[in-house]
């Protein structure tokens, strides 16, 4: 373990302009991206969404520390895959972040409780919402199980490829593909039953 054997006097001076960055850790992170716009955008994302996502993760996990870990893990995924998100607007990123945070929270939940995913489905707190009843297709989509709804939104609304979705959700390509097909078939059946 590194240690500083000769400590200089410690002091703290509040720095207002934190764009003046020292130390290699941020520099290594920042240079992953194509320019200052990425860095600025990512900082903004964290500023805007960190607390909200932690609150959401905490609603799933019931534990603040685990929630922070889940959100941290989600942002690592976003950072690492930023090439695919760079040209997306903030609304698109919101959905992605929400889905990834949920996924990471589920992972932690499963590790902690050793429950199966299907039992978790019953216990996970979803975001309650309702869509206009006259929009039968939107109702059908909203009524899909959480995971399948996410797949449909990412694929057909946000336009991510199957491979990208698989990476986002940390599942295999075939699991993503199968999930999307299954969800789409369910929608078709629901619409046909609805007339």
Partner 1 sequence: MMKVMDISRACGVVNDVMLDSFHSSFGGETLNRTEALNKIKLIHSAAHKRSPASVYLKRVSVVILTLAISTGMVFTFSEDARAYVTNWVKEINQNMTIYHFYDESNNDKVASVRIKHMAKGYFEKSHTQYGSPFSFTFENEEGKRLSIDCYRKDKFSIHLERDSGSSETIMINGNEGEFYGKTSEAEDCILIWTNTGQNLAYVIIGDLDKEEMIKIAEGVYTKVYQKEGDEDYEG
Nearest to 106 by CA among 122, 124, 94: 124
Residue 47 binding partner 1, by CB under 8 A? yes
**Contact window for partner 1 (CB under 8 A) among 107-115, 116-124, 131-139, 168-176:** 131-139
Report whether 89 contacts 134 (CB < 8 A).
no
- Burial label for 184, CB within 10 Å (0-12, 13-18, 19+), is middle
The minimum distance between CB 90 and partner 1, in angstroms, equals 11
Number of residues that make up the chain: 195
> In whole angstroms, what is the distance from residue 155 CA to residue 162 CA?
7
The minimum distance between CB 116 and partner 1, in angstroms, equals 25
Buried b (16+ CB within 10 A) or exposed e, 48-66: ebbeebbebbbebbeeeeb
- Alpha carbon of residue 91 to chain centroid: 13
> Number of residues in contact with partner 1, rule: CB under 8 A?
80
**Contact window for partner 1 (CB under 8 A) among 8-16, 114-122, 162-170, 171-179:** 8-16
Pick 51 or 119: Cβ nearer partner 1: 51
Residues 83 to 122 in contact with partner 1, rule: CB under 8 A: 91, 94-95, 98
> In whole angstroms, what is the distance from residue 119 CA to residue 159 CA?
30
> In whole angstroms, what is the distance from residue 119 CA to residue 152 CA?
22
The minimum distance between CB 68 and partner 1, in angstroms, equals 9
Pick 7 or 111: Cβ nearer partner 1: 7
Query: Site for partner 1 (CB under 8 A): which residue of 64, 115, 142, 170?
Result: 142
Residue 55 binding partner 1, by CB under 8 A? yes
**For residue 9, which phi and psi values (nearest 5 degrees)?**
-60, 130
Residues 147 to 186 in contact with partner 1, rule: CB under 8 A: 149, 152-153, 156-158, 184
**Contact window for partner 1 (CB under 8 A) among 19-27, 104-112, 116-124, 166-174:** 19-27
**Contact window for partner 1 (CB under 8 A) among 109-117, 145-153, 162-170, 171-179:** 145-153
């Amino acid at each position: 373990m590194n240690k500083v054997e000769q400590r200089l006097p410690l002091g703290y001076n509040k720095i207002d302009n934190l764009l003046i960055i020292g130390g290699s850790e941020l520099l290594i992170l920042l240079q992953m991206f194509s320019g200052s716009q990425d860095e600025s955008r990512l900082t903004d994302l964290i500023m805007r969404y960190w607390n909200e996502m932690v609150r959401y993760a905490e609603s799933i996990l019931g534990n603040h520390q685990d929630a922070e870990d889940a959100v941290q893990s989600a942002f690592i995924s976003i950072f690492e895959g930023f090439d695919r998100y760079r040209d997306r607007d903030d609304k698109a990123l919101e959905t992605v972040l929400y889905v990834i945070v949920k996924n990471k929270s589920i992972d932690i939940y499963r590790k902690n409780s050793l429950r199966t995913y299907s039992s978790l489905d019953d216990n996970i707190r979803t975001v309650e919402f309702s869509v206009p009843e006259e929009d039968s297709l939107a109702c059908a989509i909203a009524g899909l199980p959480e995971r399948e709804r996410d797949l449909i939104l990412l694929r057909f609304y946000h336009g991510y490829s199957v491979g990208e979705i698989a990476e986002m959700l940390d599942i295999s390509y075939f699991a993503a593909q199968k999930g999307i097909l299954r969800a789409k078939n369910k929608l078709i059946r629901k619409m046909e039953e609805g007339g």
